[in-house]
Amino acid sequence: MAAGTGSGRTVSATFRPIRGWLLLPSWAIIGFFMVIPVLLMLVYSFLTKEFRGGVIWEPTLAAYDQFLFDRGLFGDEPPTIEWAYITIFIRSILQATGATLLCLLIGFPTAFFIATRPAHTRAIWLFLITIPYWVNLLIRTVSVRFLIRDNGPLNDFLLALGLVDQPLGLINTNFAVQLGLFYSYLPFMVLPIYAAVERYNFAFSEAASDLYAPKWTILRRIVIPVVKPGIIAGCILVFVPSLGAFLAPDLLGGAKTYMIGSLIEEQFKGNAGNWPFGAAASMILLSMVLVVLLFYARGQSREGA
């Protein structure tokens, strides 16, 4: 053991002068495509809007004020909360949560199924899961719209079977949006869980069964806790893009399902937009995501201890 650690130290010592340089391209890419845009947004969110889109370089809190307060922070009377945008924000969180749960509900058994197939057929199953995703997201979302609209195949089918006597009216509902998000991001749930279940040692399940645990208890007490990192990764990978999504809410939802992604999208589209307001909304969204990730990281480090 000691020898192993020693040689490891020697190698890293040898490479120390070069190591920084080797990482330079990665740092450059992360800096250019992640840090700079975020900083730019942060700066824009504190600037004054120009009418045809764009910004004027005059610092102001107007964008945040507009998002959070109805009677402004800087008026004579005490400020009141602006509920419209906060409502949109909370709705987005609920929608993203719904989509994540839907993905988990379908994705976990799917991943489990694939990971327990004979090794040589797993690649085929994984490929089958990803086939729809070779098609553009916009087209896939539109196709969901066609599938579930009032005179679409789903309703025709249910009507023909006599299961319903009038179309279900799925379109423009929260459920339609969640379905669209679910369809958009399912592989992000399946793949990390698959990776975790594939590494799972089924001798643990046998040991639990040997120690008098019935099937569901094994799933709850052994399998799920052991593959939990995969489940959490999947949930984050679905929740985060769902929270800021705008295609599914635009195409499958209506005014009542308006989400923050659409709100931000509109601020930057065409001439009617308000860049600082869009940037402020983005920063608020980003801080929420960071809070979620922080909780996750804290949970992880506590587990490791």
Closer residue to another protein, CB minimum distance, 227 or 280? 227
Q: Which of the ranges 25-33, 74-82, 136-144, 210-218 carries the binding residues for another protein, by CB under 8 A?
A: 210-218
CA distance 188 to 192: 7
**DSSP states of 51-118:** TTSSEES---SHHHHHHHBSS-TTSSSPP-B-HHHHHHHHHHHHHHHHHHHHHHHHHHHHHHHHHTS-
Q: Does 206 bind another protein (CB under 8 A)?
A: yes
CA distance 30 to 157: 49
- Site of tokens 């250019």: 32
- Site of tokens 């679409």: 152
Closer residue to another protein, CB minimum distance, 43 or 226? 226
Of 21, 127, 134, 212, the one binding another protein by CB under 8 A: 212
Q: Does 50 bind another protein (CB under 8 A)?
A: no
Q: Within 13 Å, how many C-alpha atoms sit on residue 128's CB side?
A: 8
Smallest gap from Cβ 110 to another protein, in A, equals: 23
Of 23, 217, 291, 300, the one binding another protein by CB under 8 A: 217
Question: Is the Cα torsion angle 27, 29, 32, 34 positive or negative in sign?
Answer: negative
Q: Does 201 bind another protein (CB under 8 A)?
A: yes
Local structure of residue 163 (DSSP, 8 states): S
Size of the site for another protein (CB under 8 A): 18
Of 211, 216, 270, 302, the one binding another protein by CB under 8 A: 211
Residues 227-256 binding another protein (CB under 8 A) are: 228
Instruction: Point out which residues bind another protein (CB under 8 A).
Output: 201, 203-204, 206-214, 217, 221-222, 225-226, 228
